[in-house]
Amino acid sequence: MIKLKINWLYLLPLSFFFTACGEETASNKNEATSEVEKIVPILKTAPVAHDSDDPAIWVNYDEPEASLILGTDKEVGGGLMVFNLKGDLLDSLSVTGLFYPNNVDVQQGVRLSDSLTMDIAVVTEREKNRIRIFSLPDMKAIDQGGIPVFVKVCLHDRRPMGVSLYKDQKGNCSAIVSRKEGPTKDYLEQWALNFDSTQQIQATLLRSFGEFSGGEGEIEAILVDDEYGFVYYSDEAYGVRKYHADPEKGNTEILTFGKEGFAEDREGIALWPLSDTSGWIIVSNQQDLSFNVYNRNEPHEMITNWKLSTVETDGCDLYQGYLNSTFPEGVFVAMSEDSTFHFYDLKQLNTKPQ
């Protein structure tokens, strides 16, 4: 029998070559799979001048094709930008020169007096410690230059960030506002909105409420489910907290969900109301570059995770219903870190749970 003496030193480079090739192939395969999983938007806007942050959708029910997408350009000197459904910036409607516009929300059919209802957009102007209110679709200011918020707290804690509008069954509207920094209790404020004798909106403080976990996070994203009468907000490093939207029902937290399943921050929140009794709550899993989807009904279990093409989304919004041939079932709009807003046809999100 002939025995072969093998010098393993000569084989080590060859072994390393095959191992490295194998690792590279596996890595490329994982990257390719990841790319395949990402859903690409129907369109995205051109970058805004500074920093895109939060969108809101206004629906023209008489002419859905003329509906508008509003989005904040977050910086001193930024603005509340208005886009059509093609993603084109509408300069004639956009409001510029604001002092750090942070978040925006839209409410339609708001009862502002006994004889007047109106569609409105409310945006937080962070470095002026106030909210701004505009009529829709003409984007005319109706707030006497701005409404101060958090007026009874120290100046350092006054800067507003998030905003969401609650409309009750009578059509009365209130703005729920969060701030950049705040205490572990009463982090948010809720302001009733009504017209005064000059046809400008005045605001009355209804309550301070809302727990905060403290630490490194903050509270920015807020969602109000008008149909169910609940408000949700992202305690970024902790979970999604739930309260009654009607102040008369108390300030006690109902529950917290979304404590797990996030890389880091919980950010923008949107509602997909499939019917009066079902739907999903969508929460940006910011550093995971994805969205966690939860059941609208308690206990709000997580259903699935969407991997879209947006990067580190702060804000998002959703409308279900026909808009045009591009968005026949509705649109999901999300901010992306490259200063753009991405528009998704709801048909694309057929990874939605069954």
Tokens, residue 36: 């395949």
Distance CA 197, CA 209 (A): 30
Over the Cα atoms of the chain, what is R_g? 23
Burial 135-169 (b: 16+ CB within 10 A, else e): bbbebeebbeebbebbeebeeeebbbbbbbbbbee
* CA atoms of 50 and 175, how far apart (whole Å): 26
pLDDT given for residue 4 in this prediction: 40
**50-349 CATH pick, 1.10.540.10, 3.40.50.300, 2.120.10.30, 3.40.50.2300:** 2.120.10.30
Residue 185: which residues within 8 A CB-CB, separation 6 or more? 210, 211, 212
* Low-confidence stretches of the chain (pLDDT beneath 50): 1-36, 352-354
Q: Is the four-CA dihedral 75, 219, 167, 292 of positive or negative sign?
A: positive
| Per-residue pLDDT, 286 | 97
Q: Give the sign of the dihedral formed by CA 352, CA 310, CA 56, CA 296.
A: positive
- The pTM score is 0.89
Q: Give which of 309, 304, 265 is closest to 285, Cα–Cα.
A: 265
The pLDDT of residue 215? 82
CA distance 231 to 250: 12
pLDDT at 8: 39
The domain locations on the chain are 50-349
Query: What pLDDT digit, counting tens, does each position of 312-329 carry?
Result: 999 999 999 999 999 999
- Taking CA atoms, 166 is separated from 122, 174, 186, 211, 298, in Å, by 12, 5, 18, 19, 20
